[in-house]
Structure formats: structure tokens, C-alpha cells
Amino acid sequence: MQLIIRYAHADRAAFRTAFDADAEDRGRNGMTLLQLWHEDAGHSWALFQVSNPKSARNYLSGAAATFNAQAGVTAADAHFLETA
């Protein structure tokens, strides 16, 4: 299973610093980063491989709020995907 998230953020550099600092927490919750893209100065996309969907969903509904605050995230749109 994969997870793609589109983040809206105020400052791309601050987002990236917080994103990198959050890698260990995401990893403990079954999320492995495959790719990170910048759409423009205010939006980024992240693609994750998910080994534990329940933990990843719990992270998104809980601990991700701390990351979002630290990273200046104003909105995040997450989608769990499976190969068709």
C-alpha cells in the first residue's frame, strides 16, 4: 500500500527541515518515504510505502498534528492507494 500526501505550507525551507526531522516518527508508524516533490513555493507532495496501514492512519490522525504545526502546514490531503 502507498500513501500520497499533498501539503500546503507557508515556507518551503521550514517545511523541509521539519519534514526531515519527522522521518523517524513516520518510520515508527510504518511509513517509508519514496519520493518528495515541490509543486511550487507553497505546496509539496510526499509518496510513502506503507507497511502498517493502521499505524499510518493513527499517525495521520494524531502525531502528524505536531509535525504540521512545526512545519507550517496549513492543509494536508492524504490518500491511501493500492496498485490496480
Residue spans of the domains in the chain: they are 2-81
The whole-angstrom distance between residue 59's C-alpha and the CA centroid of its chain comes to: 10
What number does CATH give the domain 2-81?
Answer: 3.30.70.260
Distant-in-sequence contacts of 53-60, Cβ < 8 A, 24+ apart: 53/1, 53/80, 55/28, 55/29, 55/30, 56/3, 56/29, 56/30, 56/31, 56/80, 58/29, 59/25, 59/26, 59/29, 59/31
* Whole-number Å distance between alpha carbons of 49 and 14: 24
Residue 46: what pLDDT?
98
**pLDDT tens digits, one per residue of 17-56:** 999 999 999 999 999 999 999 999 999 999 999 999 999 9
Residue 8: what pLDDT?
98
What cell does 46 get? 510526499
